Amino acid sequence: MKLYFISLLLITTFSCFAQTQTFPKSFTVAKDGTGDFKTIQEAVNGVRDWSEVQVPIYVKKGVYREKLVIPAQKSRISLIGEDKDETKIIYDDYSGKNGISTYTSYTVLVEGNDFIAENLTFENSAGSVGQAVALHVKADRVMIKNCKILGNQDTLFPSAENSRQYYVDCYIEGTTDFIFGAATAVFEKCHIHSKKNSYITAASTSASQAFGFVFFNCKLTAEASAQKVYLGRPWRPYARTVFINTEMDKHIMPEGWHVWNNNENHLKTYYAEYDSTGDGASPRTRVKWSDQLNKKELRQYTLDNIFKGTTAWQPTTTAK
């Protein structure tokens, strides 16, 4: 009899473990309590670790004052706002505040692979106080669609060299080096707005990467007071940044590109343009260490080629 009860207990225990735990297929976040959660972080925490399917989190209109983290184990999250102008994630950390560095000053940090964001505003509201990141992305296979990314210095940080990121139909603004980092990142049909005389990009591409930052069919504008803006400067020696079919207003300097603090990083960089237009387009006056692509060189700049990596990735522009 005793052996019978032990056997029954073991069978029951294994049966419980064998049952698959169920997780919601989606979540809704609403500040007024009408959704599943009131904060975005709670919804992220509720997603199954290492999910094998894309999990949408729908975010209702509102200002969400959160320092949001998408951890590495929270893969395949789609964060979908109700309206990019009225669905905002805002925080105000900055480098030097209570031991915070540039790397930890983010409003939103993305570490989970296969992340999608759509119809949202990511904002660092610290003001002109130095480095203050709005969106810091370390993850691979990330798509940001129809979003606003707002800040001043160091607004957007696509940071990891093994990371592939795709930004489409986004508005990105800042002051100095406001798109910076080592990732392979494509910006398509984005509006890039400079708020003062300074530099747009500061790539830190590694020597092993074939591509760094690539801009397709973007538009570069500036505040009226910003009349001397450079396309970029190399944060690291092998920085790679290319502007293709980009409309540039008059705030772009004739030289186009600038050195980094008088060091020799620029001697190993790859800075190039193809068919830039507007008052800021001036191929004949660009610095000698930059390039103008020819049609043969242009052919390599496809999403398939840029994002091939060790495993192919072709981002879709429809969030699921």
Q: Which entry of 177, 249, 279, 291 is annotated as an active-site residue?
A: 177
Residue 172 CB neighbour total at 10 angstroms: 25
Rounded Cα–Cα distance for residues 73 and 48 (Å):
8
Q: What are 308-317's contacts with CB under 8 Å, separation 24+?
A: 309/140, 309/162, 309/164, 309/184, 313/140, 313/141, 313/164, 315/141, 315/143, 315/166, 316/143, 317/143, 317/145, 317/168
Per DSSP, the three-state class of 7 is: helix
Sign of CA dihedral 72, 74, 78, 81: negative
Q: Which entry of 49, 83, 85, 154 is annotated as an active-site residue?
A: 154
Instruction: Identify the residue whose tokens are 């959160």.
Output: 66
Rounded Cα–Cα distance for residues 306 and 108 (Å):
25
- The DSSP secondary-structure symbol of 282 reads -
Radius of gyration of the chain (CA): 22
Active site residue 93: no
Active site residue 83: no
List residues with catalytic annotation. Answer: 154, 177
